[in-house]
Structure 1
């Protein structure tokens, strides 16, 4: 059985897919009422499942007329993609951030399932038994090198 976070995520994705512009404005309190949960549950879903690594830009306005605007950002396969990814990652990237980015590239059909699996196997925390700071720098270098190789292909 799916948990409430999965259900909320799917509902928001359905709203986004129905929006021709790829942008949806939602009210935290309305969603919380709809799913009989606290507004912080909505915040949790948005902050963990609608990240830039996964292809979403989130804007929030608090207060009585407040809203959350979520925009799905598309990818284009070119040099700008590689530079944008490198800028996003910086010189270090956590396993969770790398996994989110790889999943997004797979979802956008930039990576095949096989390429994504290989990349995921290289960036997992278990593979790099080093201190977190060094591990995150090495992981960023690995992701960058793999993307350069694949995008040249």
Structure 2
């Protein structure tokens, strides 16, 4: 069994998959009580596991009737996927953000787990041993080339 964060993330992912709309509303305090943890643990899970790079939109309403709404975003078309990814990469991208985008490519069935592993190793800080600003720029250039290759070689 994994740690509490993994269990909470699996639970939220499960209810999202069961939701016909791909959206769930949860109360932070109720979830914390159910998993016997502090509400900040719920915040941590949501902020690290349910990011825009991973394909989730998160809205939060604070207060007594507050909730967290999580929605799985499915891009509409091949062209919109391609444009979204290139725009999100920009001119520089940190390793974690790039890894989240690669995970999303797997989730959307654009690449295999093996291809994702190769991409993650290629863009890793251990591979790109240059100063940080240059490393993030180089990683972005590499990610853009990888995305262009994926979307031109897969055909429609």
Return the offset for 1:53: 1.0
Q: Which range moved further: 54-63 or 108-117?
A: 108-117
TM-score w.r.t. length of structure 1: 0.95
For residues 84 and 74 of structure 1, the distance between their equivalents in structure 2, rounded to whole angstroms, comes to 11
For residues 101 and 15 of structure 1, the distance between their equivalents in structure 2, rounded to whole angstroms, comes to 22
Equivalent residue, structure 1, for 2:19 = 19
Normalising by structure 2, we get a TM-score of 0.93
Q: CA deviation at 1:77?
A: 5.4
Post-superposition CA distance 1:43-75 (Å, at most 9, x none): 000000000111101000101111000000113
Q: What is the match of residue 119 of structure 1?
A: 119
Output the CA distance in 2 between the equivalents of 1:145 and 1:122.
Answer: 12
Q: For each residue in 1:100-120, what CA deviation from the matched residue of structure 2 results, as whole angstroms up to 9, or x when unmatched?
A: 110111121111233222211
- Whether the 8 Å contact between 1:77 and 1:151 is mirrored in structure 2 is no
Structure 1 unaligned regions, length at least 5? none
Unaligned runs of 5+ in 2: none
Mean Cα deviation higher: 111-120 or 29-38: 111-120
1:140 counterpart residue number: 140
Could you list the structure 1 runs, at least 4 aligned residues long, displaced by more than 4 angstroms after superposition: none
Give the conservation status (yes or no) of the 8 Å contact 1:77–1:110: no
Give the match's secondary structure for 1:118.
helix
Q: CA shift at 1:12, angstroms?
A: 0.6
Q: Which residue of 1 aligns with 2:8?
A: 8
* Count of residues in Structure 1 that have an aligned counterpart in Structure 2: 153
